[in-house]
Chain A
Amino acid sequence: MRGAITRVAGPVVVAENLIGAQMYEVVRVGALGLIGEVIRIEGDGATIQVYEDTAGLRVGDPVAASGAPLQVELAPGLLGSIFDGIQRPLPVLRDQTGDFIARGVTAPALDRAVKWQFTPIARAGDVLEPGDLIGSVPETAQIAHRVLVPPNTRGTLIEINAGAFSIDEPIGILQNDGARIEIKLAQKWAVRSARPYARKLDPDTPLITGQRVIDSFFPVTKGGTAIIPGGFGSGKTVAEQTLAKWADADIVIYVGCGERGNEMTDVLEEFPQLIDARTNEPLMRRTILIANTSNMPVAAREASIYTGITLAEFYRDMGYDVALMADSTSRWGEALREISGRLEEMPGEEGYPAYLATRLADFYERAGRVIALGKDARVGSVTVIGAVSPPGGDFSEPMTQNSLRVAGAFWGLDTGLARRRHFPAINWITSYSLYDLRKWFVENVASDWEAQTGEAMALLQEETKLMEIVQLVGSDALAEDQKALLQSARMVREDYLQQFAFHEIDAFCPPHKQYWMLRVILAFQRELMRAIKRSALLDRVIKTETPVAPPNNENGASRAQEPVPSKAQEQIAGEFAQSLAPGGVPMTSTDHGALLERALALPIVAEIARMKEWKHAEAESRARALIEQIEREVGALR
């Protein structure tokens, strides 16, 4: 079917005589055959968003319908690849047209020349339903690519072959009602529809990110959703890339949606060099990159997140835990807004179309932990971690607000922290996680995980309150124990929360090391408080030994003649004795300021700052030794 262009406005083209065209059908536009997608139909006219630059298109130029919606190819060979927003393989495009992306080029997503070693599992005669396992291909050393009966396909397996196949060759034949259906390694799926599954499960396992602030305080589940909003330069991309490197997912889909070209190069250069500690394989082998940078066409940018999540669902269906990083969802939203503007639709808030919220919710809804289709009830998950780039860093804008409604974890980046070079700049007061993973951490890391992390968070919250006072009247107005608390909270911030993403060792910090680091800092805090209390008590003991002003009460006058009330003194002395750490003789000096200063000058403080450099395996033993040392040395402070 051929139509003709009647209007061109940027990436939006209107065509007439496209009789029978369907929504989301792919069309080829103009003499160059630019790829486009039907996004609105009126009579025999269709509005098309074009995935390539439309310069030079004329009224009357031909438009050809393809008969199929925008779909991606799903087959072995996806892992380690880099595609644009509509799954064109960028290395192949470079071979074809050079270093710049020319218009009208197409290339199949996957290489037809590669032969994959297929091992059948199903046998001839088996009656197969959608999602049933047919066999498997070793896609990488770690990832067995499970070949499944595609959704909407069923029948009796009448033929199945082992051996080396390209993705287009039939590996078996299903018979259904007399129809013969060839099974191939490759299948297609329309990106805008979610792939079906049997049932959604409640997520109960964390996606371990190795980032202390996340795992300890705002964890996300496998199958959960998290958003990272933040102004420019606050650390969204570094966070997404760090998670793509270290999170304990089987597969990572990284969508560079309307961001910088060099950030894709980062991934392409770094990931093949980095070795995944869990599998001993280069990280690139578990990664698929979708790169539709800011200068690439805006409609393909809009499609890129759907391309990404469809690939994620495909591996989820095989029973893998997949993590999808989308940097930045705001650029997707803006693409939507731009297209909507060209369609002259009624604008909603800040010019975004009214359906922004629904589209966003539909996208995030494709995350989840599921039982896949198929008899063997595989469990897989898709975790979505979306960066949000609010204009002016102001979270009250529509993209952030609409994302907040659907996301399970909120990691709010704080430009103020980033400017102080506190990274990751996740604000620990405003961020939250709706996932309750305490059980998992208690069972898998430490029985008092909750108590420890709770105590640390309480410290940080207390610090925020105290800092408000300090801002008004200065720190001299604080009591000694409050000053000490500020020092401990600072330790939590600098020696725990801060994590340099490019550090050889600290880039990834496993939960058990997180736990032991926290134990050390909290031990220091406890001992410091004790020491201060002790010295305050000592102060009171000394003062109460000499005659003091009578207690201020009605009977004051008569009591004044009596000796100093022994009860109070006894109690103080008792507390004092109790507070003494093993050994150590109280001294008479009671200058707490000096005490705090001396505590901070202890070599253990420097050692605490270097915990980040501890080898993971040594974390527990070194922490235990350090805690003992803290108890000894802070305990001896007088």
Chain B
Amino acid sequence: MDTQTSLLTKHYRTLSYISGPLVFVERVANVGYGEIVTITGADGAPRAGQVLEVNRERAVVQVFTGTRGLDADTTRAHFTGNVARLGVAMEMLGRTLNGAGQPLDGGPAVIPEKFLDIHGEPINPYARDHPSEFIQTGISAIDGLNTLVRGQKLPIFSGYGLPANEIAAQIAMHARVLGTSEKFAVVFAALGITHREASFFIQRFETSGALDRTVLFLNLADDPTIERLITPRAALTTAEYLAFDQGLHVLVIITDMTNYCEALREVANAREQVPGRRGYPGDLYTDLATIYERAGRIKDKPGSITQLIILNMPDDDITHPIPDLTGYITEGQIVLSRDLHRRGIYPPIDPLPCLSRLMNAGIGAGKTRADHRGVADQLYSFYAQGRDLRRLVAIIGEAGLGAADRKYLAFADRFEQEFIGQGDTNRAIEDTLNLGWELLRAFPANELKRIKREHIVKYGKGERG
């Protein structure tokens, strides 16, 4: 982060109050809202902070690295006169930075080509270009049923112990746009994850040879929690530069947004704000939107930002405010299932609550295949029926089912084992669709209500039951 001082810098020793991550500085003058502050305690180490509120008497400052060890008497506050800015450059590719954008890899400081406000500015909706390029991830549950396109923002709703990281890494490694080999970059933002998790990602980037096209922003579990509030913004500022100034296709991976939200809650509590649902701040939706909306494509610009966001649903509860508000902003969601995971199915993606809102724009003739929509809908419909029946079987036993119902049950089992449970394999979209047809063979043609007749004729050849 840019902490260069300007002519307007002001020093104060007037701390009146310290509460959680906040300090209150009295009798300030000429302090700007959102301004970056350097707080120095008795230990002499500078800590970065930001003005959350300012009035004639005082400024409320949130200290990113925490307030432990600060006291009201000796602590100095130095107002820099700048809002939070990040120096960005192409040479950031291949670098490892901390959550605030400073080198962690022992390398030299990044020589900035530009300083950018990490909060960014909203993309003018009129300047947006609709994302529509199919990205093949190699995962059938995604490519076949919830297709990802370039410029989309898609979260993975996970639960503790579920393999969201593996799936995200797999997507990052395999993701390719059919028929192209354009310049890409990965921006990885770690928010409060463990060293083990972070090194897993780094290793995967390394083995696939993507590491020198990756910028790592690491705020790990033992790093200051409030710093997490800047990390995704620093990462996205870098991504915007790489995508819209340099024309790269940027994949941003952010993990774990749950930790980000916890940090926000901590600040809100310290400010004694009226809490919203389950203690999270009332403006959590807006706050998350200012992160997630920094994705997409811009007219007449070659680059793009695709966001893959990982979050853990507390108690596996999809109605918890974090997944809930995320789902309200992102363009769909991939939901992992503990049940599938327990049964050894990998990737344990439960297709029913999954969604890709941009799927329609990325599939069909000329993009994937003409029958894609129909096949996906039909698989969905039969699988949903099979799942409903499974619940019923749990109550009344399989004997109570008719022959027709048993067919759906059998389908649901095969679908989970073969279509979803593909293991680590990397499946081409053709293979995904063909496998879908293979499974649909269990049904006579007139039950395939979701598929166009001509597609049944063309792709659904062979015997059916």
Contact = CB atoms under 8 A, between A and B. Distances in A.
Interface in B117-135: 117, 119-131
Interface string A71-106: 000000000001000000011011000111111000
A392 B396 CA distance: 31
A393 B319 CA distance: 8
A7 B402 contact: no
A394 interface: yes
B353 interface: yes
Interface string A493-504: 011000000100
B375 interface: no
A91 B126 CA distance: 6
Contact of B353 (A9, A337, A419): A419
A261 B296 contact: yes
A601 to B, nearest CB: 7
B380 A351 contact: no
A265 interface: yes
Contacts of A232: 324, 327-328
Nearest to A328: B328
Contacts of B258: none
B209 interface: no
Tell me which of B29, B301, B319 has the highest count of chain A C-beta atoms within 10 A of its own C-beta: B319
A466 to B, nearest CB: 14
B131 A262 contact: yes
Interface in A240-294: 256, 258, 260-262, 264-266, 268-269, 291, 293-294
Interface centre among B29, B122, B126 (most CB of A within 10 A): B126
A233 B400 contact: no
Contacts, number: 219
A495 B381 CA distance: 14
A99 B124 contact: yes
A102 B116 CA distance: 13
Interface residues of A, number: 79
Given A261-B293, A351-B276, A473-B396, A82 B120 contact: no
Contacts of B301: 99
Contacts of A338: 282-283, 286
Contacts of A101: 121-124
Interface stretch (A56-64, A174-182, A433-441, A449-457): A56-64
A601 B404 CA distance: 12
Nearest to A331: B285
Contact of A471 (B125, B131, B331, B392): B392
A82 B327 contact: no
A233 to B, nearest CB: 5
A158 interface: no
B352 interface: yes
Contacts of B130: 262, 265-266, 269
B446 A8 contact: no
B125 A99 contact: no
Contact of B282 (A54, A91, A233, A334): A334
A295 B289 contact: yes
A6 interface: yes
B275 A8 contact: no
A580 interface: no
B56 A233 contact: no
Interface stretch (B88-96, B107-115, B355-363): B355-363
B35 A82 contact: no
Contacts of B377: 421
Contact of A8 (B54, B277, B395): B54
A470 interface: yes
Contacts of A389: 328
Given A55-B33, A56-B34, A421-B380, A233 B332 contact: yes
A59 B56 contact: yes
B358 A262 contact: yes
B405 A90 contact: no
A28 to B, nearest CB: 17
A203 to B, nearest CB: 32
B123 A472 contact: no
Contact of B290 (A98, A100, A295, A473): A295
Interface string A93-126: 1100011111100000000000000000000000
A597 B283 CA distance: 55
B271 to A, nearest CB: 10
Contacts of A556: none
A268 B299 CA distance: 12
Contacts of B329: 260, 294
B55 interface: yes
A545 interface: no
Contacts of B120: 100
Given A55-B32, A419-B384, A233 B355 contact: yes
A391 B55 contact: no
Given A90-B124, A420-B380, A474 B396 contact: yes
Given A60-B30, A476-B401, 19 more contacts: A93-B126, A98-B124, A99-B298, A99-B299, A101-B122, A102-B121, A232-B328, A261-B122, A262-B130, A334-B282, A334-B285, A341-B273, A389-B328, A391-B324, A420-B380, A471-B392, A474-B392, A475-B401, A609-B449
> Which 3 pairs across A and B sit closest by C-beta, in order of nearness?
A474-B400, A294-B289, A392-B319
24 contacts: A8-B54, A8-B55, A10-B53, A54-B34, A55-B83, A56-B34, A59-B31, A59-B56, A60-B29, A98-B124, A233-B327, A260-B329, A260-B331, A264-B125, A264-B126, A265-B129, A265-B130, A295-B122, A392-B277, A421-B380, A421-B384, A470-B392, A475-B402, A495-B449
Interface of B: 28-35, 52-56, 83, 117, 119-131, 244, 273-277, 282-283, 285-286, 289-290, 293-294, 296, 298-299, 301, 319-321, 324-325, 327-329, 331-333, 352-353, 355, 357-358, 360, 377, 380-381, 384, 392, 395-396, 400-402, 404-405, 444, 446, 449, 453
